Each structure stands twice: as C-alpha cells, then as structure tokens.
Amino acid sequence: MHTKQRRVTGAAAVAAFGILALTTGCSSTPATGKHHTKPTASRAAGSPASPGPSPVDPKPVQGQRLRHYLLTPDDLGPGYTQTETPDDEKAADPHRYDDIGMSGCPALEELSKHSDEVQFATKTSAGFSFGADSKLGEELHSDSPSKLSAGLRRLVHAQTSCPTYTMTSGSTPLTVSVHKDAPPGPGPDAYAYTTTLHGPGGTSVLKTATVRRGNVLVMLVGAPALVDGHIEAAVAKLPAG
C-alpha cells in the first residue's frame, strides 16, 4: 500500500519530483537533438557524509547575477524555445508537488523528512523545448561551496540508491527505474543518472546531470541527448570556482 511522504522542495524536488513536469509530451524514445557526449570514466556517487562549513566560503550569488549564468536559447542553438523564465518561478504554486508521493525507496523517504538539508540559499531556473516533444530544464543553486557539496552528495546518493521505486502523481502510479551514468566532468561534485518512468501513458526517459563549480551548482534535467549536448556549455557559463 502506498504511503504518501512529506513534500520535498528545492533541489530535491527537481531531481525526484520535478522530472514529472518534463514527462508531459516527452517521446518514449529519447530525442537525438543532433548532440553527442564525450565518453568519460565512470565514478560512483559520493558518500552522503557532510563536511563541516568553512569560514572562508564565499557568500551565495544573488538575484540577477545568478540569473546571468543560466543558459539561453542563443547558447542552445536553432530549434530551442524558452518555455520557462526565471520570473516564472515567482508565480509558481508552492503546493505543486503536494499530490506527488513515493514508496519503495527508504533513502528518498528519509530525504523527504530532511529536505531542508538540500535546500540552498539562492536559486533560479529556466526551461526549454526542442522540437515537438523534448524538454530541457535547468536550475542554478548558490550557497557556500561546502554546503553545496554536502547537499548535492546527499541528494544524488538518495536519488540513485534505489534501482526501482514507485512514484504517484495524484492517483496515477509510476514505476521509476534509476541508473548511474558517467559524471559529466572531473572533480568530486559532478554526477549524472538516468531515470526511466513507466506509467499508463507509456515510458519516458530523462537524464539528470549536475556539477558544482565554486559556490554555484547547475542541474540539467531532460531528454538524455539534450542534457549530454548542453551540460558542458552550462558548466562553462558558471563563475570560476
């Protein structure tokens, strides 16, 4: 019997629940987007253990300065349309994930009880579509490097700890399968995994890639080829770490 868990917010919502928003209209076959990813060596996700805060950590990036680091349609190239801007999140329904629950993954259920530990000081986001049925979402988060690193490790550990679990959107059950992918870059805070959702409407495949550079982390979620094709550009836009 499914037991609905406490609502997860912030980066955890994007990684675990926000993927549902991208499944609407997504093709069951991952879009090619004419993008290619460079092969990299596999690396296991880091431990969820959290380092202590450093007194020399820089302050979080705020407001317009953080939005400056988001991808734009000009960065992505022909065929992309922006569907969500940073201003859209101001009007977002704070209860939009209230009808979403999960079961069968203790690590995610535990994270839902401590979601404040993976919420960061500042955030901005954008969304894009490519062609008729492929979507790409981007979030930037900023906080001290130590807090970003610890929170990101905990988030990815929880999200990839269960090969399969069940998610519900309203009364609709979805079977979720997750597998780790090669990280999108070097360093201890680069992670990627692919999520496959099986439901009454068919199967959707989405990839999440996230990288921390200094006091900013970027997270891309969407069609695997689009994420692979643009994570390098997204990281390149971040401030030097």
Could you read off the pLDDT of 18-51 as tens digits, one per residue?
Answer: 444 443 333 333 344 444 333 333 333 343 444 4
Q: What is the pLDDT of residues 145-171, one digit of tens each?
A: 999 999 999 889 988 999 999 888 777
Tokens 């080829």, residue located: 225
Give the separation between CA 17 and CA 11, rounded to whole angstroms: 10
Q: Is the pTM of this model over 0.85?
A: no
Pairwise pLDDT comparison (46 vs 142), residue with the higher score: 142
What's the pLDDT at 96?
Answer: 59
Sheet holding 134-142, edge to edge: 80-84, 122-130, 134-142, 216-222, 202-213, 190-199, 172-180, 164-169, 100-103
Residue 64 pLDDT exceeds 80: yes
Instruction: Write down the mean pLDDT value for the chain.
Output: 76
What's the pLDDT at 103?
Answer: 86
Give the separation between CA 163 and CA 186, rounded to whole angstroms: 25
What's the pLDDT at 108?
Answer: 84
Pairwise pLDDT comparison (202 vs 238), residue with the higher score: 238
- Domain 10-26+58-236 in CATH 3.40.1000.70? The answer is yes
Q: Which two tokens stand for residue 202?
A: 């068919």
Report the 10 Å Cβ neighbour count for 27.
15
Residue 143 pLDDT exceeds 80: yes
Q: What is the pLDDT of residues 171-223, one digit of tens each?
A: 788 899 999 999 998 888 999 999 998 888 888 889 999 999 999 999 999 99
What's the pLDDT at 126?
Answer: 92
Let me know: does 139 contact 219? Beta carbons within 8 Å: yes
Number of residues that make up the chain? 241
